[in-house]
Structure 1
Amino acid sequence: MSDFKNPKSEIPNPKSENWFASWFDTPYYHILYKERNYREAQIFMDNLTHYLNLPEKAKVLDLACGKGRHSIYLNQLGFEVVGADLSENSIAEANKNKNESLHFQVHDMRDSFEDKFDAIFNLFTSFGYFENDDDNLTTLKAMKDSLTEYGFAVIDFMNVSQVITNLVPEEVKTVENIEFHIKRYVNDGHIYKEIDFEDQGQKFHFTEKVKALTLKDFEEMMEEAGIYLLDIFGDYKLKKFHKNDSERLIMIFK
């Protein structure tokens, strides 16, 4: 692949020289995913915060917040919000929206916070990226350590069974006059997405790789981390989880 180049972008943390450190920090990541359904995301957060019955002005952590769109909405709901992400470029963009009760910081999710939170949200499959599988357990422990005694954490992950069954092997998406050629496949317990495109005469190649974690995998890790799994939902309306059919795997724990 010598003819493919990665765009110039800062690696936000020397601890993490993985694919997500560069891909998430490029403008192309945000271009490709610009059409995500944010209204659906807001309904999800409305449902979540209502279900959790969070106190007024609760301290909420949006872990892997990207450019902070969901942090901003949580803040509008009346919560004190910290958005954390590994991408320096995303945090720089998010910081344009900071206020007295909304803050952003560059942070590696494997590290716990000194501050304790009433709720931690890890949304839209922002988990399972690490090369070392042990880092997934480390992240769960860090989330646990960052909660108050009565705090709740939420991981919103893909439902692996449903995703693999409905995997689209190849497609082309044109966004902002860029043709993204996308290939998807499963290998060695991971779901891969190969992304190739050309912009301004330069060819680019990126690979997304996410651990195909099932509910059983999460249950085993949570037990080892000393986490109590309270509830499981299968979509953003918080309907019951069904292994083969549900769109999402949403886990609430403390």
Structure 2
Amino acid sequence: MIKDDKTWYASWFNTPFYHILYKDRDYAEAENFMFNLTNYLNIPEDGKILDLACGKGRHAIYLNKMGFNVTGVDLSENSIAHAKQFENDTLHFDVHDMCKPYHEQFDAVFNLFTSFGYFENEEDNLNTIKAIKSNLNEYGFGVIDFLNSEYIIENLVEEDIKTVEGIDFHQKRHVENGYIVKDISFTSEGQKYEFQERVRALILADFEALFEKAGVYLLDVFGDYKLNKYHKKTSERLILIFK
């Protein structure tokens, strides 16, 4: 059995299996979210956007097609190596640790699809927000698209099996020490694998405290990708706009 004991996100996000498990993500919904978000923020034509923890670049690629100058960064070398095939004069990808400031400033910094709250060192949550602040220009906006922990915990599916590309992914979920935990086990080509996802069950008040410490200002909160109002008991997402 292969069980990787490195920092879970550094190992799991770098495997092909992570992308197989989540390959059915709704691209139309993601594109609609990017359209709604850029319109709401009124990002200037050909404005600069940093996609923080961009994975293989699906959001960054679409934002670039909309006419924006986009940089996508991620800790996963494999994901960035894949994304680089899509680079052009106004689309670039780079391996980067989002806890640290990037070397440019932008009209917007997007941290999407719950790419936050999984650090071993909780101080890195604050460091990431500080880094986002430093990467915003005078008129720039930060966006964190996080899961709504209160809704997720209330509606937690404790166990299921998801079959993708002939692989049965056994998924078990529980809450432990303030984290939403998912244990993932599967067999591929006769080899057994085990991975775990751990995301801090942060709520709106936690983000407000982090923002205050980082010296940024919360401007708006939305509860879904259509930018409807946030309700802590019924919204699936917690989308925070700040500067």
Say if 2:102 is the partner of 1:113: yes
**Does the residue aligned with 2:2 lie in a helix, a strand or coil?**
coil
Say if 2:2 is the partner of 1:5: yes
Say if 2:73 is the partner of 1:84: yes
**Inter-partner Cα distance in structure 1 for 2:224 and 2:188:** 36
Say if 2:38 is the partner of 1:41: no
**Does the residue aligned with 2:31 lie in a helix, a strand or coil?**
helix
Q: CA deviation at 1:6?
A: 4.1
Structure 1: give runs of 5+ residues left out of the alignment: 12-16
Structure 2 equivalent of residue 14 of structure 1: none
TM score, norm. by length of structure 1: 0.94
**Inter-partner Cα distance in structure 1 for 2:59 and 2:102:** 20
**Inter-partner Cα distance in structure 1 for 2:103 and 2:30:** 28
Aligned pairs for 1:149-228 within 5 A: 149-228=138-217
**Inter-partner Cα distance in structure 2 for 1:104 and 1:231:** 29
1:145 equivalent among 115, 123, 134: 134
**Inter-partner Cα distance in structure 1 for 2:109 and 2:19:** 23
**Does the residue aligned with 2:17 lie in a helix, a strand or coil?**
helix
Deviations 1:224-254 (A, max 9, x none): 1000000000010101000111110000000
Percent identical residues: 62
TM score, norm. by length of structure 2: 0.98
Structure 2: give runs of 5+ residues left out of the alignment: none
Count of residue pairs the alignment pairs up: 243
Superposed structure 1 runs of 4+ greater than 3 Å apart: none
Q: CA deviation at 1:55?
A: 0.5
Structure 1 equivalent of residue 15 of structure 2: 26
Residue 2 of structure 2 aligns to which amino acid in structure 1?
K
Say if 2:93 is the partner of 1:96: no
Q: CA deviation at 1:42?
A: 0.5
Structure 1 equivalent of residue 231 of structure 2: 242
Deviations 1:72-121 (A, max 9, x none): 00001110000000000000000000000000000000010121011000
Residue 82 of structure 2 aligns to which amino acid in structure 1?
E
Q: CA deviation at 1:150?
A: 1.0
